[in-house]
């Protein structure tokens, strides 16, 4: 018989835990038989001592098996999924899902909400009038069979241990523990039951893993976990020092998504969308250039069909903000830095994000960039437009942005795609 104190003591003393000990602890915590304080102590011990590969596999398996798992093998089409570790202006799921689905691949994109400086896919989609993110497993399965594309909230039965453990990590300073990030992401993604998984692992000021070596280690561990479970898994290591695209928020990121689906859009958003789509299609056994379906409108057709299936109105105008404020360039030169974290936090202050789970967000709040690093700017020209429904939020957002922008005489923007880990 195990006890929580014995398991905590062992990990505190850097002793490797058995799969049985880890499984017992996860199950007991999920059932309420182990207290928040006790699991927090274990999480902190893991933060300091890490986990071996065997321990990481056991933790991921225990979290995965804490609820139901999905199986789409009867759909008669290949399945592919994508996960991003979170960034600023990261609307890639929105154009990517219908793009890949337009090639006959089922994409069950079970997504989350924003917390802190990173935005949430579900919050963005709910800016579309009528769009429903809460679907039953039957509805998900039917939509995948008929359209191939679905973006919705994960059901409560999917890896419930992860939901409880994540909430605890959020208030105990253990969110950025690499083994806990890897097991959290992979337990949810493996529970979705897809054949192919492509991970977008971000590094830089706007990412949770700011150090590139740490991000690479996380990517390698997640790819290893996926392959160990028999899922074709790869990771794309991408830079997140500057927001993706020119919009950060909810409705305005949907607006930029429509530009991409119409065959235009910002170069960085298009590049990352196509890169991830190529890996997803290759994993699904589809030999195609996804740029074709952005150019000929087939991706847009799938997007509109997905919106309609989820009660959204693809022709309804997106909501617009009541208040705006312009931040101008402090000096002339070449823009060399637009700090992604600061811009994400400013958008959050304006109402685009939330401070606690369950708090409502403003669909119209956000920030529009009028230049990106590498662009030549003139003192006094508009650099950022701030949007909100709550004018008293503007000043705190402006204060965050005061040290977010730098200029220089010459600047070369670094590559967006750092590496691919297979």
What per-residue confidence (pLDDT) applies to 409? Answer: 83
Residue 7 pLDDT level (bands cut at 50, 70, 90): very high
- Would the pTM count as exceeding 0.75? yes
Q: What CA–CA distances, in Å, run from 274 to 196, 288, 364? A: 16, 11, 27
What per-residue confidence (pLDDT) applies to 357? Answer: 66
CB atoms within 10 A of CB 265: 20
What per-residue confidence (pLDDT) applies to 13? Answer: 98
Active-site hit among 11, 83, 221, 293:
83
Q: Considering all CA atoms of the chain, what is the largest pairwise distance in Å, rounded to the nearest integer?
A: 70
User: How far is Cα 397 from Cα 281, in angstroms, rounded to an integer?
Assistant: 40
CB atoms within 10 A of CB 262: 15
What per-residue confidence (pLDDT) applies to 115? Answer: 65
DSSP 259: H
Q: What CA–CA distances, in Å, run from 57 to 14, 24, 26, 63, 176? A: 17, 14, 13, 10, 18
Task: Using DSSP, state whether 236 is helix, strand or coil.
Answer: strand
Active-site hit among 102, 111, 183, 184:
184
Output the six-digit token pair for 124.
Answer: 């963005």
Active-site hit among 117, 188, 202, 221:
188
Read off the pLDDT of each residue in 98-127 and give the average, rounded to a whole number.
90
- Residues of the chain with pLDDT > 70, as a percent, come to 99
Clarify whether 188 is annotated catalytic.
yes
Contact 242, 340 (CB under 8 A): yes
User: How far is Cα 57 from Cα 206, in angstroms, rounded to an integer?
Assistant: 28
Read off the pLDDT of each residue in 318-336 and give the average, rounded to a whole number.
96
Residue 324 pLDDT level (bands cut at 50, 70, 90): very high
Read off the pLDDT of each residue in 391-417 and give the average, rounded to a whole number.
93
pLDDT, mean over the chain: 95
- Look at the block and give the residue holding tokens 């997140």: 240
> Counting every residue, how long is the chain?
422
DSSP 334: E
Which residues of the chain are in CATH 3.90.1170.30 domains? 323-408
Active-site hit among 169, 216, 239, 349:
169
Contact 90, 256 (CB under 8 A): no
Task: Using DSSP, state whether 385 is helix, strand or coil.
Answer: strand
What per-residue confidence (pLDDT) applies to 171? Answer: 82
Task: Using DSSP, state whether 196 is helix, strand or coil.
Answer: strand
Output the six-digit token pair for 26.
Answer: 């996860």
What per-residue confidence (pLDDT) applies to 114? Answer: 73
Q: Which of 273, 285, 259, 248 is closest to 362 using CA atoms?
A: 248
Residue 45 exposure: Cα atoms within 13 Å on the Cβ side: 20
Domain 323-408, CATH among 3.90.1170.30, 3.40.640.10, 3.40.50.300, 3.40.50.880: 3.90.1170.30
Read off the pLDDT of each residue in 24-36 and give the average, rounded to a whole number.
97
Clarify whether 162 is annotated catalytic.
yes
What per-residue confidence (pLDDT) applies to 116? Answer: 66
What per-residue confidence (pLDDT) applies to 22? Answer: 98
Contact 314, 305 (CB under 8 A): no
Active-site hit among 81, 90, 123, 162:
162
240-278 pLDDT, tens digit per residue, is 999 999 999 999 999 999 999 999 999 999 999 999 999
Which residues of the chain are in CATH 1.20.970.10 domains? 4-50
CATH code of 73-155+173-181+188-309, in short, is: 3.40.1030.10
Which residues of the chain are in CATH 3.40.1030.10 domains? 73-155+173-181+188-309
Task: Using DSSP, state whether 360 is helix, strand or coil.
Answer: coil
149-202 pLDDT, tens digit per residue, is 999 998 888 999 998 998 898 788 898 899 999 999 999 999 999 999 999 999
Contact 136, 314 (CB under 8 A): no
What per-residue confidence (pLDDT) applies to 118? Answer: 77
Contacts of 45 (CB under 8 A, 6+ apart): 8, 11, 12
Domain 4-50, CATH among 3.40.50.140, 3.90.1300.10, 1.20.970.10, 3.30.565.10: 1.20.970.10
What per-residue confidence (pLDDT) applies to 113? Answer: 80
pLDDT > 80? residue 403: yes
Contacts of 171 (CB under 8 A, 6+ apart): none
Clarify whether 385 is annotated catalytic.
no
Read off the pLDDT of each residue in 214-243 and give the average, rounded to a whole number.
97
pLDDT > 90? residue 216: yes
User: How far is Cα 326 from Cα 383, in angstroms, rounded to an integer?
Assistant: 7
Q: Which of 304, 238, 249, 303 is closest to 120 using CA atoms?
A: 249
């Amino acid at each position: 018989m195990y006890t929580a104190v014995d398991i905590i003591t062992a990990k505190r003393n850097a002793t490797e835990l058995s799969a049985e000990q880890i499984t017992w602890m996860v199950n007991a915590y999920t059932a309420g038989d182990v207290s928040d304080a006790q699991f927090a102590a274990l999480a902190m011990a893991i933060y300091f001592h890490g986990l071996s590969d065997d321990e990481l596999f056991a933790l991921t398996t225990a979290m995965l098996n804490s609820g139901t798992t999905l199986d789409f093998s009867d759909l008669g089409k290949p399945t592919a999924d994508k996960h991003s570790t979170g960034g600023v202006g990261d609307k890639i799921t929105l154009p990517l899902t219908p793009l890949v689905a337009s090639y006959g691949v089922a994409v069950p994109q079970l997504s989350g909400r924003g917390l802190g400086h990173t935005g949430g896919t579900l919050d963005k989609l709910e800016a579309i009038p009528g769009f429903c993110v809460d679907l039953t497993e039957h509805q998900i399965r039917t939509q995948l069979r008929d359209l191939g594309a679905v973006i919705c909230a994960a059901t409560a039965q999917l890896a419930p241990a992860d939901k409880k453990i994540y909430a605890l990590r959020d208030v105990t300073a253990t969110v950025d523990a690499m083994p806990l990030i890897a097991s959290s992401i992979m337990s949810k993604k493996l529970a979705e039951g897809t054949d192919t998984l492509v991970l977008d692992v971000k590094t830089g000021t706007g990412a949770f893993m700011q150090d590139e070596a740490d991000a690479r280690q996380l990517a390698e561990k997640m790819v290893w976990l996926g392959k160990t479970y028999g899922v074709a898994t790869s990771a794309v290591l991408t830079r997140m020092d500057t927001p993706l695209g020119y919009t950060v928020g909810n409705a305005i990121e949907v607006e930029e998504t429509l530009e991409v689906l119409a065959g235009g859009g910002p170069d960085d958003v298009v590049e990352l969308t196509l890169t991830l789509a190529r890996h997803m299609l290759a994993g699904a056994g589809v030999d195609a250039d996804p740029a074709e379906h952005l150019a000929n409108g087939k991706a847009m057709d799938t997007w509109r069909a997905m919106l309609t299936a989820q009660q959204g109105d693809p022709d309804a105008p997106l909501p617009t903000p009541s208040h705006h404020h312009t931040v101008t360039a402090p000096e002339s030169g070449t823009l060399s830095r637009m700090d992604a974290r600061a811009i994400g936090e400013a958008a959050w202050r304006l109402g685009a994000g939330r401070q606690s789970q369950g708090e409502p967000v403003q669909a119209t709040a956000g920030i529009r960039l009028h230049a990106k690093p590498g662009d030549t700017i003139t003192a006094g020209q508009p650099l950022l437009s701030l949007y909100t429904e709550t004018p008293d939020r503007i000043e705190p957002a402006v204060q965050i942005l005061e040290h977010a922008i730098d200029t220089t005489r010459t600047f070369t923007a670094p590559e967006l795609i750092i590496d691919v880990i297979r």
